[in-house]
Amino acid sequence: MAKEFAQQFYKSSAWKESRTAYIKSVGGLCEECLAHGIYTPGKIVHHKIPLTAENINDPSITLSWDNFKLVCQDCHAKEHAAESRYSFDEYGGVVPPIKKNF
Ligand SMILES: [Zn+2]
Ligand SMILES: [Zn+2]
């Protein structure tokens, strides 16, 4: 079920470099947990605007730090559970609205 457009994007050096730089910029902690005063290592750089076949070639969406959020696995599942439709995780897998992916 993985979407090829997302798989290719997540393999790109532009994404890997942006992701690494963003993680450093926020200190490596889950931003969602931190907002609640909890220190949890962030594992996943989530796109607030989910990647689609339409925006995958738009760096203002795919590579914009404004669209990034560093989260732990639990918070990432919650982010996607909050979405009302199917979306894709950072590995190109489908994340149903109610199922925890991790
Ligand atoms: Zn978290
Ligand atoms: Zn995500």
Query: Measured in angstroms, how far is the CA atom of residue 16 from the centroid of ligand 2?
Result: 15
Per-residue pLDDT at 5: 85
Question: What is the extent of the structural domain holding 45?
Answer: 4-95
- 101 located within any domain: no
Per-residue pLDDT at 80: 84
Per-residue pLDDT at 60: 97
- Report the number of distinct structural domains present in the chain: 1
Per-residue pLDDT at 38: 97
Region class of 98: left (phi > 0), else alpha (psi between -120 and 50), else beta: alpha
Query: Measured in angstroms, how far is the CA atom of residue 79 from the centroid of ligand 2?
Result: 7
- 68 located within any domain: yes
Per-residue pLDDT at 84: 55
Successive 10-residue mean pLDDT values, the chain, 102 residues: 79 97 98 97 95 94 98 93 66 61 47
Query: How many other β-carbons are positioned within 10 Å of the β-carbon of residue 37?
Result: 6
Query: Measured in angstroms, how far is the CA atom of residue 46 from the centroid of ligand 1?
Result: 11
- 91 located within any domain: yes
Per-residue pLDDT at 37: 98
How far is Cα 22 from Cα 31, in angstroms, rounded to an integer? 12
Query: Measured in angstroms, how far is the CA atom of residue 99 from the centroid of ligand 1?
Result: 17
